[in-house]
Amino acid sequence: MGGQQKLERVDEDWQRALAVVAHPDDLEYGAASAIARWTSQGKTISYLLVTRGQAGIDRLEPEKAGPLRAEEEIRSAKAVGVDVVEFLDYDDGTIEYGLSLREDIARAIRRHRPDVLITANFHLTWGGHYLNMADHRAVGLAVLDAARDAGNRWIFPELLSEGLEPWPGAKVVLFNGSPEPTHGVDVTGYLDRGIASLQEHKAYIEGLGGDFNVETFLRNAAESMGKQLGTELAVTFELFHV
């Protein structure tokens, strides 16, 4: 999609969403600003983190980094109106796409019964030759498949014994950060909350080193995406119908 091509707006005629990503901070590089808009509309959004990001800080041992990053994610979620943050406790950096991951995500979908699923880019790259990490690719694809698994009683029938009836209602999956965006959300008036959400990841950002500026990064990105949507500030998604 060309840089100046206009995007469609995400349909906001829904009430519940579940955001499923690999690591603490994955949602905060854009999606959180849209989530702030949606919670302000009275929508209910919950987070499911596949890992606690324990391998994400080079100079901090995983057993220390994991709890610290989980705490940062809980504070980050509150900044955009999200109170429910759950963790699957997979090992950070070595997530594998497969039936176990699909079942765990399908289980969460049946419990939360969302209308919309939110996740992150599952493509091989971020665009061009900038490699997207394996965890993101595995989780994104598993979310897409689990959306359908959750609605079929004959897939993972053990979920029925847990009292979890099929939920076929998650008909839309939104991938933030995709190099092939199809839709956008106007976050004018909500970007500051998205910025505050990412700023809660203090330990992780410090671990990156350098001079990364949260506000500059998110504002520049939102302004660029806003041009594609025809608004001041926006975040973009690749939308799939299940």
Q: What is the dihedral sign for C-alpha 171, 176, 180, 183? A: positive
Instruction: Compute φ and ψ for 196, nearest 5 degrees.
Output: -60, -35
User: What pLDDT digit, counting tens, does each position of 167-221 carry?
Assistant: 999 999 999 999 999 999 999 999 999 999 999 999 999 988 878 999 999 999 9
pLDDT of amino acid 5: 63
Please measure the distance between the N-terminal and C-terminal CA atoms of the chain and give it in whole angstroms.
Answer: 22
Q: Is 193 helix (H, G, I), strand (E, B) or coil?
A: helix
For the cut 50, the answer to whether the pLDDT of residue 3 exceeds it is no
For the cut 50, the answer to whether the pLDDT of residue 2 exceeds it is no
pLDDT of amino acid 4: 53
pLDDT of amino acid 6: 79
Determine the average pLDDT of the residues in 53-81.
Answer: 96
pTM for this model (two decimals): 0.96
pLDDT of amino acid 207: 86
pLDDT of amino acid 97: 98
**DSSP assignments along 55-112, one per residue:** TS-TTS-HHHHHHHHHHHHHHHHHHTT---EEE--PPTT----SHHHHHHHHHHHHHH
- Determine the Cα–Cα distance for residues 194 and 217; give it in Å rounded to an integer: 11
For the cut 70, the answer to whether the pLDDT of residue 123 exceeds it is yes
Whole-number mean pLDDT of the chain? 96
Q: What's the Cα-to-Cα distance from 169 to each of 7, 18, 85, 221, rounded to whole Å?
A: 25, 12, 21, 32
Instruction: Compute φ and ψ for 141, nearest 5 degrees.
Output: -65, -40
Phi-psi region at 75: left, alpha or beta (left = phi > 0; alpha = psi -120 to 50)? alpha
User: What pLDDT digit, counting tens, does each position of 22-37 carry?
Assistant: 999 999 999 999 999 9
pLDDT of amino acid 96: 98
- Determine the Cα–Cα distance for residues 95 and 97; give it in Å rounded to an integer: 7
Query: For residues 185 and 234, is the Cβ–Cβ distance under 8 A?
Result: yes
Question: If pLDDT is split at 50, 70 and 90, which confidence band does 90 have?
Answer: very high
List the domains of the chain with CATH numbers: 8-241 (3.40.50.10320)
* DSSP β-bridge partners for residue 100: none
Query: For residues 74 and 85, is the Cβ–Cβ distance under 8 A?
Result: yes
Question: If pLDDT is split at 50, 70 and 90, which confidence band does 225 have?
Answer: very high
pLDDT of amino acid 209: 80
User: What pLDDT digit, counting tens, does each position of 39-48 carry?
Assistant: 999 999 999 9
Determine the average pLDDT of the residues in 108-134.
Answer: 97
- Determine the Cα–Cα distance for residues 219 and 213; give it in Å rounded to an integer: 10
For the cut 50, the answer to whether the pLDDT of residue 1 exceeds it is no
For 119-150, letters b (16+ CB in 10 Å) and e give: bbbbbeeeeeeeebeebbbbbbbbbbbbbbbb
Q: What is the dihedral sign for C-alpha 145, 148, 153, 158? A: positive
> CA neighbours within 13 Å on the CB side: how many for 241?
2
pLDDT of amino acid 54: 97
Q: What's the Cα-to-Cα distance from 48 to each of 25, 36, 119, 211, 227, rounded to whole Å?
A: 12, 17, 10, 30, 31
Determine the average pLDDT of the residues in 79-83.
Answer: 98
